[in-house]
Structure 1
Amino acid sequence: MSNIDLIIEERPADIGNFLVGRLLPFRSKRMVGPFVFIDHMGPKCLSDFENMDVGPHPHIGLSTLTYLFEGSIMHRDSLGTSIEIKPGQINWMTAGKGIVHSERTPEYLRKSEKMLHGLQIWVALPKSLEQMEPNFYHASEEDIPTWTEDGVQYKLLAGKAFGKTSPVPVYSDLFFIEIKNTEERSVRIGQHLFGEAGLYILEGSIFNNGIRYEPKRILVSKEPNLCEFTMAPNTTVYIFGGEPFEEERFIYWNFVATDKVLLEAAKERWRNQEFPKIDGETGFVPLPER
């Protein structure tokens, strides 16, 4: 019997500069554990006159996780952070009661061809922390727990699993794991998972219960403790999830909250430009009229 409860395929979504593949939220599955939003960016080749320019925009009630496979993004925020994120590194920004950030192609790449490919993820904060003070954490590639077992390479990008802990300062029980191989391998990791679990296939394919599953889709498990599958050669997957929250989460634009009153207050603050500013940035992304 298959352990797969739901299959979610990437849907195109326009984020202003280019199309991304949206995976979460989905109409019949708004969250997997505390994970509330997942976009797959690229792979896209930007020409010498194309650049990523997502101007200042706000967030509340969540942490954002940016993880690149190719390319580079300059992150600036209202805490005074100014840092370039490169492949293999993790940007973890916790919005709490409110933060503003921008995401742009670094200046030294703006007049040359470049690739952009990665994941952008939102993780909802527990209700007791959704109005916490904002903060920012950057993890270099060498900071991330990495190991090989039976010809399979693992990275624990965030959370806890396999008796290991990522340095990324998460605020609830979760896991976000990268798994890669070069030769066909069977993987049985259910004993390391908890709560809810999703498996995102980036490249290659996996087999489960005699069925082949191709890239650009999430497989949501019925029981995380039964998670096992076979990876075709040269496959990369991401396992993510954790303990779900008791309360529903409401989403409007870049805001996540347990109470719609918080969303309305954030909308009004942004309309009135009452969020903190980013040094050196003058423009902003307007509130959607919907």
Structure 2
Amino acid sequence: MANNKMLVDERQRDLGNFMVGRLLPFREKRQVGPFTFIDHMGPAELGPGNYFDVNQHPHIGLSTLTYLFEGAIEHRDSIGSVQVVKPGDVGFMTAGRAVTHTERTPAHLRNGKAFSMHGYQIWVALPKELEEMEPRFDYFPASDLPRWQENHCELILVAGTAFGRKSPLQGYSPLFMVDIRADEDAQLDLGKQIQGEVAFVIVKGSIQLDGEEVGQGQMLISKTREMCTMDLGKDTRILLFGGEPLQEERYLLWNFVSSDRDRLKEARKLWEERKFPQVPGDQTYIPFP
């Protein structure tokens, strides 16, 4: 791999009945733009006795971005939000100073039939001046996201600004996330279409970049700001994401993100003492590991 790029393979881990692949962070690169954490959920078959159930857990200092290709997740949080996120929709929960939430298979899929689950859970760090903002939840249905065809590819602007377009989901610092699917063998010239650090996650298929092949389950990070031309094989699907890096380093402790290590310790203590806000009507609790 050329020395101006990094290649990352998913690291598999077990989440109860569900396997996820972690792509970010890893030792050599903690963030890409403001993106600080990416889990690939599935693809997996779920059904009777085997559902997606993540009990009540806390966050600070970040926004969670949920984006699905298959299945559905019901989001509930301590602000009182209740929302089913379906394929192509975006759930965007901003934790700020403190929030708790649960993520579960919704009732309409708990019907005794098997179904597929596949998507990404992404964390976006907040700028330092907004790390302690009031929590909020935003929902963007698939129909609200910019979608267009270009060079035999379908592109969906999930978040931010790219390709001369703006998503209704802008986030809190300059960023972009684009879902790209090639209908045929295709070539995309990124040129000046995106700004800042950039990474590609290969969801399906493979791409050729500067004569090198990157395959399914891998992430390629560009260390330079020089954008490039990529070749996508037919039926390849990638997520393109990145943006301007935040000025200060971010630290992670479990589900907490902050520019201040002491703030992480404080959040841990508050969670262990059960002083975080609670999801209405939910008594579940995931202990600090």
State the TM bucket, normalised to the shorter chain.
over 0.9
**1:215 maps to what in 2?**
216
CA shift, 1:246, in A, is 1.7
Aligned to 1:269: 270
Q: Does 1:89 align with 2:80?
A: no
Question: Is 1:3–1:221's contact at 8 Å kept on the other side of the alignment?
Answer: no
State the alpha-carbon separation in 2 of the partners of residues 200 and 167 from structure 1. 22
1:8 Cα deviation (Å)? 0.5
The answer for the alignment partner of 1:42 in structure 2 is 42
Match of 1:142 in 2: 143
Counterpart residue number, 1:106? 106
Query: 3-state DSSP class of the match of 2:97?
Result: coil
Distance 2:39 2:247 in 1: 24
**What are the Cα deviations for residues 213-234 of structure 1, in whole angstroms up to 9, with x where unaligned?**
2111111113343222100111
| Whole-angstrom distance in 2 between the partners of 1:103 and 1:282 | 14
Q: How many residues align?
A: 288
| Shift, 1:2, TM fit | 5.1
What stretches of structure 1 move > 3 A for 4+ residues in a row?
Answer: 1-4
Structure 2 unaligned runs (5+)?
none
Are 1:16 and 1:54, in contact at CA under 8 Å, matched by a contact in 2? no
Q: Percent identity?
A: 47
Which whole-Å CA distance do the structure 2 matches of 1:223 and 1:185 have between them? Answer: 23
Supply the AA of the counterpart residue of 2:180.
I
TM-score (norm 2): 0.96
CA contact (8 A) 1:47 1:114 kept: yes
User: How much has 1:109 moved relative to structure 2?
Assistant: 1.8
Matches within 5 A, 1:15-164: 15-110=15-110, 111-164=112-165
Contact 1:11 1:23 in 2 (8 A): yes
CA distance in 2 between partners of 1:14 and 1:261 (Å)? 30
Root-mean-square deviation (CA, aligned residues, Å) is 1.4
Is the contact made by 1:192 and 1:225 (CA closer than 8 Å) also made in structure 2? no
Contact 1:137–1:169 (8 Å) recurs in 2? no
Please state how far the C-alpha of 1:17 moved relative to its aligned partner: 3.5
* Mapped partners of 1:16, 1:124: distance in 2: 26
For 1:21, the aligned partner's letter is G
Per the alignment, residue 165 of structure 1 pairs with 166
* SS at structure 1 position matched to 2:56: strand
Opposite residue 179 of structure 1, the aligned amino acid is: I
What is the CA deviation profile of residues 167-196 of structure 1, one whole-angstrom value per residue up to 9, with x for unaligned ones?
114000000011111111111013112221
Per-residue Cα deviation, 1:53-90 (whole angstroms, up to 9, x for no partner): 10000000000000000001111000101111100000
Aligned-partner SS, 2:263: helix
Tell whether the 8 Å contact from 1:61 to 1:257 is kept in structure 2 after alignment.
yes
1:227 and 2:228 matched: yes
1:18-43 residue CA offsets vs partner (Å, 9 max, x unmatched): 22010000111111110000010000
SS in 2 for 1:191: coil
Partner of 1:204: 205
Question: What amino acid maps onto 1:277 in structure 2?
Answer: Q
* Paired residues of 2:161 and 2:194 also in contact (CA < 8 A): no
CA distance in 2: counterparts of 1:113 and 1:87, whole angstroms? 17
Partner of 1:13: 13
Question: Given the two structures, how large is their TM-score scaled by the length of structure 1?
Answer: 0.96
**Does the aligned pair in 2 maintain the 1:68–1:88 contact within 8 Å?**
yes
Matched-pair contact (CA < 8 Å) for 1:3–1:227: no
Q: Distance in 1 between matches of 2:101 and 2:207?
A: 37
Q: Contact 1:196–1:242 at 8 Å: present in 2 too? A: yes
Extract unaligned runs of 5+ from structure 1.
none
Shift of 1:13: 2.0
Counterpart of 1:156 in structure 2: which amino acid?
L
C-alpha separation between the residues in 2 aligned to 1:13 and 1:140?
30
Q: d(CA) in 2 for partners of 1:146 and 1:27?
A: 35
Q: Which moved more, 1:129-138 or 1:224-233?
A: 224-233
